[in-house]
Amino acid sequence: MKHVAIALSLAVLGLVAPRPHAASAQTLFVDYFGYDYESPNPDPLQFGEPGSSYHSLGLVPNLFLPLVADTANNQYTYYMTNLNPVNVQNFGSFIIIDYAPGGSFEVWEDAKPGGTPLDFGINPPNGTAPSSFTDGNLFVLGTLDQFQIVLNLASGSGSFEGVFTVTGGSQLGNVPANQRTGWTFAGTTANELHRPSGYDHQVDGQIFLNEPVPARPSSWGAVKARYRQ
């Protein structure tokens, strides 16, 4: 009976618990860099135009606990996809692009010996991109919501951010169930001279996981008393 009460009270507390305080610690999850492009790209002279879709892919050089990675023997790559613009706002040289929910962020693990080295190629999608970034073992799968890109078309640089939620991949079991939401951000720039042809920006970003939602054992009496106050 006591176990049932604890379980129920945890569920109740979970429903009413406030979001983690802004000052709480967050955990660095992965660090990534690469390039982005649009496909389809109805108007190559615009970014975020209706009918386009945003993609980014590249290398994940650093992965952090609770992920268990082997960077000595494996290559880790990422692929962001299914990001479709729904709103574009222009303010001077700045542009804000908001995307529909349901984007995805994938981390793939591919053996260095015998695996396929990443190859951006040119004018993606092509014979090696995204395929050489999405082969091997799907290590982490997550969704991207509230994804937003901010660009300064005058300087050629900007940033993006979005809410990230771990939903699958071989590492899902290593991520505590109460710590599967977080967020990502990155800087973007079109000012690198050696960007492969057909890619729009260079990208350098990170994903954080929010602090675990706290929980503690309680009793029905304590829960009831809390709501009588």
Partner 1 sequence: MKIRNLMMGALLLGAVASAPAYAGPVIDWDPAFVYGPGASTTFAVPGAELKAVGIVSLFDGPLGGLDANDPTTEYTFILKGLTAQPTTTTGPPAFTFYTTNYIGGVIELWAGSPRNSSFAPNPENAIVPSTFQDGTLLLSGVFTSFYTQTNNFTTFKTGNMEGTIIWNGGSLLSLLNGGNGQPCPGLFTGGMTWLPSVLIEGYVFRHDGKIDLNCPVPAQPSTWGKIKSQYRD
Nearest distance in Å: CB 189, partner 1 = 5
Binding positions for partner 1, rule: CB under 8 A: 20, 22-26, 28, 31, 33, 59, 61-62, 89, 91-94, 96, 118-122, 146, 148, 150, 152, 155, 157-161, 163, 183, 185-189, 191-194, 196-197, 202, 204-206, 208, 211
Q: Which residue's CB is nearer to partner 1, number 139 or number 183? A: 183
Nearest distance in Å: CB 148, partner 1 = 7
Nearest distance in Å: CB 221, partner 1 = 34
Helix 2-16, helix 220-228: angle, nearest 10? 30
- CA–CA distance, 87 with 75 (Å, rounded to integer): 36
- CA–CA distance, 82 with 55 (Å, rounded to integer): 7
Q: Which residue's CB is nearer to partner 1, number 150 or number 223? A: 150
Nearest distance in Å: CB 58, partner 1 = 9
Let me know how many helices (H) and strands (E) the chain has, helices first.
2, 10
Nearest distance in Å: CB 183, partner 1 = 5
Nearest distance in Å: CB 158, partner 1 = 6
- CA–CA distance, 108 with 138 (Å, rounded to integer): 5
Q: Which residue's CB is nearer to partner 1, number 15 or number 25? A: 25
CB 151 within 8 A of CB 94: yes
Q: Where are the beta strands (DSSP E) in the chain?
A: 27-38, 54-63, 74-83, 85-91, 94-99, 103-111, 137-152, 157-168, 181-189, 201-209
Q: Which residue's CB is nearer to partner 1, number 104 or number 157? A: 157
Q: Which residue's CB is nearer to partner 1, number 212 or number 220? A: 212
- CA distance to 13, 19, 66, per residue, from 74 (Å): 41, 36, 17
Q: Which residue's CB is nearer to partner 1, number 59 or number 223? A: 59
Amino acid at 3: H
